[in-house]
């Protein structure tokens, strides 16, 4: 019943099977989307943004244990992204690293994430989570109104039914993350 | 509140089915292998599917993502949190996992709703008391079309059905909704909302059968016309078995029904949405009815087969001037006919409805509307039941306005409004309401509401005659006891006071508490009148009249509390408890003997617990337990009902399920006595299996 576990290294056969599976999933999604509503939930779009953040942010080398280490997207709290995130980043790579998704409760393992999505269910312990991430090279992404003021880096908000995000550039610097100018151009930049 | 529904209803964007998306998550490796095989087949057969779809989100760069319109789950939650009415929404996922095969059966899961099978094909369904075959204080709409029958003041549930797979949601408001929805939305409003055809593309075929469900099948196909229009059509058939009487003998209430329908939605422009939809149906139902004979005077029962058929067609135009202003114009025609040896009755309804939603400044959200309804009915009378005149056209004019005023941003909201209508029986009726919603914290809200609502007279209050019984009096004189309509029957009136509390502790736990104190006036009574002689029909006889009147008042109060808990992503628990107290008081001038006792027609306590479990390999186990308190006036003891469903989703295309209903006992009564010309029967334990197969279009 444990839904998601970090995948271990695979044999070549498993890799091929996986590629086929992903292709099939893409076609499947294409077919399925025929049946589904055309409008998207905010969480589907948030999941797609997370994938883009992985592509347009640069992590320092020390954020990865070795050259083959995967890129970890962590999700903490109630999981409105469930399914969507896996489907969107499943089998994708960011800067040559395989992306994996982990569902987390808290504690030390949060620090091992490259991107950490903190769902609004965790608002009550936001400062606690932020404290435990001090000095980590983690791109924190949240939904709470005061997220950037709590030390969070990227904060989603909605404007005219479209998804927008704020970036706290000071927090990003503290985490030694380089955010591409392309992303910054789209964001509302805030400072401490 | 009603505004909430209205706005929901006209929501152009529609709701993505998150539940369905969730089903697509990765499971074990085994599952991956199975899905690989299935999906490889899909690849081979579906290479044609080359268009890019919104779900190919990873293809979008951040600039493009910024332009995607989203429907926010949190906004919806917020709107639900701040709704100042006792609302419950049944989702498609709830419907699928309930194992229910008809709309009234779905309503059992609504907190505080009392749903009883009277016989195999007749239901009683109401909230907050006054339950019966025709629960005359519940307004029911399907896609904006009223299915509240204006002859009998109630809903013929046996004729209300659709492809359950195509229902998007059922919104149930307990308590008055008359300010927006109009007369007869006294104790509640039920809105059944089907999906847009854009969301029902491709095909679905279901079939199955079992012990009570002798056999059923349905099919739907949806496609596109050009780029901006989509359609679907469906057909559904079922054949259901009989129940048993109190001594366990087979009753005659087996039935079958066939229906079909269509819906077309055309996004004529960015700002215009046109909808045309319609249904046609027929059903054949059995019942045991009481009957009186004049020569010789005698009473008996008769087993009859009733044929009900009808159809409807509806057109609606939504125009969006801007985000802040939109209108809808709706027109429909509905025909319903009931035909059996005791009576033939029919009703034609023509309805025109205009609504305008307008945001004024930042604080006011206004809805106003006008409507006109023309109804005409026809009867073939019998000695047992007769309507005079046999045809009576009626006109109903209504206007309403409601303003939702934000007093303190995202904290305090006031909703005021009123319905004004003119009907052919009582003239003008005013149904105002005042609602207040206070959100002291982000996830908690308190609301209060004060409203007036009326149940307007119907033909069976004013123009009916039922010869209830006949017997031979002294000297061989035939005597007939006759229920007589009262042309001066007034509207039944409600003043409702409601207070509620909602807590969305987190996305896993929600709590919803609603309390109410309802004061009713001019409730319907049956008064003995002065006997008179009649020469027609022959032989001459003495008639002892029972006159319909408004000589009772009452208080109904209680509370409904519902808690939903997502224990894990794979286990959901829903529970609710409701308390209902009813006190009726006859006027001093009343001589009614039975009406006060109808206090005991609704259960005082109800409790339910529903569990939805999802295992690996998409196996599902759903169980629902319902405790329903006794109905003392109908001599129905309390009962506990357990329904369970075991389902297996095999890939995206095939679902198998086995459903067991009323598992705890061989049979039990859910309603009692002889009610509205029907002898009630008892529900049996039953099991059925179902296969659902989906396919995509154009491959």
Contact B14 A37 (CB under 8 A): yes
Weakest mean pLDDT among A38-52, B363-377, B605-619: A38-52
**What pLDDT band is residue B46 in, cutting at 50, 70 and 90?**
very low
Question: Judging by beta carbons within 10 Å of its beta carbon (0-12, 13-18, 19+), is residue B516 exposed, middle or buried?
Answer: buried
Residue among B271, B368, B350, B371 at smallest CA distance from B318: B271
Which of A8, A36, A91, A144 would you mutate first to test chain B, the one with the most B CBs within 10 A? A36
Please give the average per-residue pLDDT across B318-340, as a whole number: 93
Confirm if B506 and A78 have CB atoms less than 8 A apart.
yes
Measured CA to CA, the distance from residue B119 to residue B245 in angstroms comes to 9
Which strands sit side by side in the sheet containing A97-104, from one edge to the other? A93-94, A97-104, A71-76, A115-118, A139-142, A154-159, A162-168, A188-190
CB-CB neighbors (< 8 A) of A29 in chain B? 53, 55-56
On whether any CB of chain A is under 8 Å from the CB of B692, the answer is no
A-facing residues of B in 163-202 (CB < 8 A) are 196, 198-202
Residue among B350, B308, B340 at smallest CA distance from B157: B308
Measured CA to CA, the distance from residue B275 to residue B195 in angstroms comes to 12
The model scores a pTM over 0.90: no
A89-133 per-position pLDDT tens digit: 877 888 888 998 888 877 778 898 999 999 887 877 888 888 889
Å between B437 CA and nearest CA of chain A: 22
Report residue B111 as tokens. Answer: 């907190």
A-facing residues of B in 437-456 (CB < 8 A) are none
Residue B637 φ then ψ, to 5°: -70, 165
Task: Tell me the Ramachandran region of residue B175: left when phi exceeds 0, alpha when psi lies from -120 to 50, beta otherwise.
Answer: left
Which of B17, B53, B568 would you mutate first to test chain A, the one with the most A CBs within 10 A? B53
On whether any CB of chain A is under 8 Å from the CB of B533, the answer is no
Å between B225 CA and nearest CA of chain A: 14
Which of B30, B41, B65, B568 would you mutate first to test chain A, the one with the most A CBs within 10 A? B65
User: Which pLDDT value is given to residue A37?
Assistant: 31
- Nearest CB partner across the interface for A163, out of B36, B70, B696: B70
User: Which pLDDT value is given to residue B146?
Assistant: 97
**What pLDDT band is residue B441 in, cutting at 50, 70 and 90?**
confident
Please give the average per-residue pLDDT across B573-599, as a whole number: 93
Examine residue B389 and say whether the peptide bond preceding it is cis (omega within 30 degrees of 0). yes
- Nearest CB partner across the interface for A1, out of B49, B55, B570: B570
Using the predicted structure, report yes or no on whether residue B21 has a pLDDT greater than 90: no
Contact A38 B46 (CB under 8 A): no
Which three-class secondary structure state does DSSP give residue A57? strand
Residue B523 vs residue B652, higher pLDDT: B523
CB-CB neighbors (< 8 A) of A181 in chain B? none
Contact B42 A24 (CB under 8 A): yes
Please give the average per-residue pLDDT across A22-43, as a whole number: 48
Measured CA to CA, the distance from residue A101 to residue B633 in angstroms comes to 60
Look-up: residue for tokens 């409203």?
A: B451
User: Which pLDDT value is given to residue B522?
Assistant: 97
User: Which pLDDT value is given to residue B338?
Assistant: 96
Nearest residue of A to residue B571, measured between CA atoms: A1
User: Which pLDDT value is given to residue B42?
Assistant: 41
- Nearest CB partner across the interface for A30, out of B20, B40, B49: B49
Å between B87 CA and nearest CA of chain A: 23
Neighbours of B472 (CB within 10 A): 13
Question: Judging by beta carbons within 10 Å of its beta carbon (0-12, 13-18, 19+), is residue A17 exposed, middle or buried?
Answer: middle
**What pLDDT band is residue A79 in, cutting at 50, 70 and 90?**
low
Contact A52 B61 (CB under 8 A): yes
Contact A36 B62 (CB under 8 A): no
Q: What percent of chain A has pLDDT over 90?
A: 30
A-facing residues of B in 609-648 (CB < 8 A) are 615-616
On whether any CB of chain A is under 8 Å from the CB of B58, the answer is yes
User: Which pLDDT value is given to residue B5?
Assistant: 40
A146-180 per-position pLDDT tens digit: 888 888 999 998 887 788 999 999 999 999 999 99
User: Which pLDDT value is given to residue B13?
Assistant: 32
Please give the average per-residue pLDDT across B263-286, as a whole number: 94
Weakest mean pLDDT among B17-26, B288-297, B452-461: B17-26
Look-up: residue for tokens 């123009």?
A: B463
- Nearest CB partner across the interface for B58, out of A27, A88, A164: A88
Please give the average per-residue pLDDT across A70-76, as a whole number: 91
Å between A1 CA and nearest CA of chain B: 7
Contact B54 A33 (CB under 8 A): yes
Report residue B43 as tokens. Answer: 């690849």
User: Which pLDDT value is given to residue B6?
Assistant: 41
User: Which pLDDT value is given to residue B597?
Assistant: 87
Structure letter (DSSP) for residue B250: B
Count how many residues are written for chain A.
Answer: 192
CB-CB neighbors (< 8 A) of B64 in chain A? none
Contact A40 B615 (CB under 8 A): no
Å between B39 CA and nearest CA of chain A: 5
Å between A44 CA and nearest CA of chain B: 8
For the complex shown, is ipTM > 0.90?
Answer: no
Residue among B93, B146, B140, B84 at smallest CA distance from B115: B140
Measured CA to CA, the distance from residue B494 to residue B449 in angstroms comes to 13
User: Which pLDDT value is given to residue A12?
Assistant: 63
- Nearest CB partner across the interface for A30, out of B18, B53, B615: B53
- Nearest CB partner across the interface for B72, out of A4, A89, A158: A158
What angle, 0 to 180 degrees and rounded to 10, lies between the N-to-C axes of helices A12-35 and B29-45? 60
**What pLDDT band is residue B639 in, cutting at 50, 70 and 90?**
very high
Please give the average per-residue pLDDT across B373-382, as a whole number: 95
User: Which pLDDT value is given to residue B20?
Assistant: 30
Using the predicted structure, report yes or no on whether residue B610 has a pLDDT greater than 70: yes
Using the predicted structure, report yes or no on whether residue B18 has a pLDDT greater than 60: no
Nearest residue of A to residue B69, measured between CA atoms: A162
Please give the average per-residue pLDDT across A33-61, as a whole number: 75
Size of interface A-B (CB pairs under 8 A): 192
Å between A133 CA and nearest CA of chain B: 23
User: Which pLDDT value is given to residue B191?
Assistant: 95
User: Which pLDDT value is given to residue B78?
Assistant: 73
On whether any CB of chain A is under 8 Å from the CB of B16, the answer is yes
Residue among B261, B258, B241 at smallest CA distance from B334: B261
Using the predicted structure, report yes or no on whether residue B674 has a pLDDT greater than 90: no
Which strands sit side by side in the sheet containing B188-194, from one edge to the other? B86-91, B167-174, B188-194, B138-142, B145-146
On whether any CB of chain A is under 8 Å from the CB of B48, the answer is no
- HSE of B427, CA atoms in CB hemisphere, 13 A: 1
User: Which pLDDT value is given to residue A1?
Assistant: 39
Report residue B534 as tokens. Answer: 């009649």
Å between A178 CA and nearest CA of chain B: 17
What are the C-alpha distances in Å from B56 to residues A33, A124, B27, B179?
9, 34, 21, 44
Q: What percent of chain B has pLDDT over 70?
A: 89
User: Which pLDDT value is given to residue B136?
Assistant: 93
Residue B61 vs residue B10, higher pLDDT: B61
DSSP string covering B9-67: HT-SS----HHHHHHTS---HHHHHHHHHHHHHHHHH-TT--S--TT-GGGS-HHHHTT
Weakest mean pLDDT among A114-123, B3-12, B494-503, B606-615: B3-12
Contact B68 A45 (CB under 8 A): yes
CB-CB neighbors (< 8 A) of A188 in chain B? none
Structure letter (DSSP) for residue A70: P
Examine residue B499 and say whether the peptide bond preceding it is cis (omega within 30 degrees of 0). no
Where would I find the H helices in B379-504? Answer: 459-462
How far does Cα B438 stand from its chain's mean position?
29
Measured CA to CA, the distance from residue B223 to residue B643 in angstroms comes to 35
Residue B110 vs residue B678, higher pLDDT: B110
Contact A84 B72 (CB under 8 A): no
Report residue B663 as tokens. Answer: 């598992």
B349-359 per-position pLDDT tens digit: 999 999 999 99
Å between B693 CA and nearest CA of chain A: 14
Please give the average per-residue pLDDT across B472-496, as a whole number: 94
Measured CA to CA, the distance from residue B104 to residue B135 in angstroms comes to 12
User: Which pLDDT value is given to residue B112?
Assistant: 95
Measured CA to CA, the distance from residue B270 to residue B672 in angstroms comes to 54
On whether any CB of chain A is under 8 Å from the CB of B41, the answer is no
Look-up: residue for tokens 């506990």?
A: B640
A-facing residues of B in 458-497 (CB < 8 A) are none
Contact A28 B42 (CB under 8 A): yes
User: Which pLDDT value is given to residue B187?
Assistant: 96
Contact B57 A48 (CB under 8 A): yes
Structure letter (DSSP) for residue A34: H
Q: What is the mean pLDDT of chain B?
A: 88
Contact B58 A89 (CB under 8 A): yes
Look-up: residue for tokens 């039914």?
A: A161
B379-398 per-position pLDDT tens digit: 999 999 999 999 999 999 99
User: Which pLDDT value is given to residue B45?
Assistant: 36
Query: B482-498: buried (b, 16+ CB within 10 Å) or exposed (e) per residue?
Result: bbbbbeebbbbbbebeb
Contact A83 B55 (CB under 8 A): no
Using the predicted structure, report yes or no on whether residue B31 has a pLDDT greater than 50: no
Structure letter (DSSP) for residue A130: H
- The DSSP element (H or E) to which B454 belongs, if any, is strand B444-455
Contact A39 B73 (CB under 8 A): no
Å between B10 CA and nearest CA of chain A: 15
- Cα Rg of chain A (Å, integer): 17
Measured CA to CA, the distance from residue B154 to residue B156 in angstroms comes to 7
Contact A41 B72 (CB under 8 A): yes
CB-CB neighbors (< 8 A) of A15 in chain B? none
Measured CA to CA, the distance from residue B2 to residue A180 in angstroms comes to 47
User: Which pLDDT value is given to residue A40?
Assistant: 67
Which three-class secondary structure state does DSSP give residue B495? strand
Residue among B448, B338, B466, B459 at smallest CA distance from B392: B459
Weakest mean pLDDT among B49-58, B292-301, B511-520, B604-613: B49-58
Contact B66 A163 (CB under 8 A): yes
Which three-class secondary structure state does DSSP give residue B580? strand
B103-117 per-position pLDDT tens digit: 999 999 999 999 999
CB-CB neighbors (< 8 A) of A51 in chain B? 57-58
Confirm if B106 and B88 have CB atoms less than 8 A apart.
no
B221-274 per-position pLDDT tens digit: 999 998 889 999 999 999 999 999 988 899 999 999 999 999 999 989 878 999
Using the predicted structure, report yes or no on whether residue B620 has a pLDDT greater than 90: yes
């Amino acid at each position: 019943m444990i839904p998601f576990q970090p995948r271990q290294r695979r044999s070549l056969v498993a890799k091929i099977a996986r590629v086929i599976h992903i292709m099939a999933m893409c076609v499947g999604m294409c077919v399925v989307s025929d049946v589904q509503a055309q409008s998207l939930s905010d969480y589907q779009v948030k999941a797609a943004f997370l994938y883009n953040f992985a592509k347009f942010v640069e992590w320092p080398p020390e954020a990865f244990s070795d050259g083959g280490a995967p890129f970890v997207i962590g999700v903490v709290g109630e999981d409105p992204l469930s399914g969507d995130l896996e489907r969107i980043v499943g089998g994708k790579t960011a800067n040559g690293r395989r992306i994996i998704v982990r569902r987390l409760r808290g504690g030390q393992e949060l620090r091992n994430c490259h991107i950490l999505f903190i769902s609004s269910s965790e608002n009550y312990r936001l400062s606690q989570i932020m404290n435990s991430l001090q000095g980590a090279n983690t791109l924190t992404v949240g939904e709470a109104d005061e997220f950037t003021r709590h030390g969070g880096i990227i904060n989603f908000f909605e404007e005219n039914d479209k998804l927008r995000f704020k970036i706290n550039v000071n927090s990003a610097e503290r985490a030694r993350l380089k955010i591409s100018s392309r992303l910054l151009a789209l964001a509302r930049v805030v400072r401490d | 509140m009603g505004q909430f529904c209205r706005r929901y209803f006209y929501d152009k964007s529609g709701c993505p089915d998150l539940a369905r998306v969730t089903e697509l998550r990765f499971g074990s490796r085994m599952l991956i292998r199975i899905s690989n095989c299935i999906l490889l087949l899909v690849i081979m057969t579906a290479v044609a599917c080359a268009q890019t779809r919104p779900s190919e989100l990873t293809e979008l760069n951040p600039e493009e993502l910024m332009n995607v319109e989203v429907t926010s789950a949190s906004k919806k939650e917020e709107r639900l949190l701040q709704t100042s009415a006792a609302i419950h929404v049944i989702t498609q996922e709830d419907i699928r996992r309930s194992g229910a095969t008809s709309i009234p059966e779905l309503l059992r899961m609504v907190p505080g709703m009392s749903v009883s099978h009277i016989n195999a094909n007749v239901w009683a369904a109401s909230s907050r008391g006054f339950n019966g075959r025709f629960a005359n204080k519940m307004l029911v709409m399907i896609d904006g079309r009223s299915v509240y029958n204006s002859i009998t003041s109630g809903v013929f549930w046996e004729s209300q059905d659709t492809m359950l797979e195509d229902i998007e949601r059922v919104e149930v408001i307990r308590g008055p909704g008359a300010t927006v929805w109009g007369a007869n939305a006294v104790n509640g409003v039920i809105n059944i909302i089907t999906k847009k055809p854009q969301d029902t593309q491709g095909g679905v075929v279901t079939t199955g059968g079992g012990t009570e469900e002798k056999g059923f099948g349905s099919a739907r196909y949806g496609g596109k016309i050009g780029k901006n229009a989509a359609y679907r059509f469906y057909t559904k058939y079922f054949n259901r078995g009989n129940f048993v009487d109190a001594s366990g003998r087979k009753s005659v209430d087996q039935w079958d029904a066939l229906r079909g329908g269509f819906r077309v939605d055309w996004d004529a422009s960015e700002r215009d949405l046109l909808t045309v939809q319609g249904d046609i149906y027929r059903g054949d139902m059995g019942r045991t009815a009481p009957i009186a004979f004049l020569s010789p005077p005698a009473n008996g029962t008769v087993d009859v087969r009733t044929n009900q058929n009808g159809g409807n067609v509806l057109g609606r135009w939504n125009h969006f001037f801007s985000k802040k202003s939109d209108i809808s114009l709706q027109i429909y025609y509905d025909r319903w006919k009931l035909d059996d040896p005791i009576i033939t009755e029919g009703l034609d309804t023509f309805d025109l409805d205009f609504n305008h939603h307008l945001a004024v400044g930042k604080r006011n959200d206004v809805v106003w509307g006008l409507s006109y309804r023309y109804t005409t009915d026809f009867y073939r009378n019998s000695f047992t039941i007769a309507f005079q005149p046999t045809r009576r056209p009626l006109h109903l004019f209504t206007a309403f306005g409601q303003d939702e005023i934000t007093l303190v941003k995202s904290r305090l909201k006031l909703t005021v409004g009123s319905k004004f209508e003119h009907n052919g029986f009582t003239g003008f009726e005013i149904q105002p309401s005042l609602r207040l919603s206070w959100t002291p914290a982000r996830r908690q809200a308190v609301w209060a509401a004060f409203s007036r609502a009326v149940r307007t007279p119907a033909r069976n209050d004013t123009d009916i005659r039922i010869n209830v019984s006949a017997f031979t009096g002294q000297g061989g004189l035939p005597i007939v006891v006759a229920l007589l309509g009262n042309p001066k029957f007034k509207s039944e009136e409600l003043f409702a006071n409601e207070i509620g509390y909602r807590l969305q502790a987190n996305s896993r736990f929600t709590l919803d508490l609603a309390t109410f104190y309802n004061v009713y006036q001019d409730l319907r009574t049956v008064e003995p009148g002065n006997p008179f002689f009649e020469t027609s029909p022959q032989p001459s006889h003495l008639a002892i009249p029972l006159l319909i009147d408004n000589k009772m008042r009452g208080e109904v109060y209680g509370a409904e509390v519902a808690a939903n808990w997502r224990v894990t992503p794979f286990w959901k628990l829903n529970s609710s408890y409701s308390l209902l107290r009813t006190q009726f008081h006859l006027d001093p001038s009343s001589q009614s003997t039975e009406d006060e006792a109808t206090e005991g027609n609704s259960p005082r306590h109800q409790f339910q617990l529903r569990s939805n479990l999802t295992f690996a390999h998409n196996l599902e186990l759903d169980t629902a337990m319902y405790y329903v308190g006794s109905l003392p006036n109908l001599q129905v003891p309390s009962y506990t009902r357990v329904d369970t469903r075991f389902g297996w989703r095999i890939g995206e295309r095939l679902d198998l399920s086995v459903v067991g209903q009323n598992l705890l006992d061989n049979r039990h009564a859910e309603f009692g006595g002889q009610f509205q010309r029907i002898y009630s029967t008892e529900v049996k334990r039953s099991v059925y299996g179902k296969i659902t197969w989906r396919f995509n279009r154009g491959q």
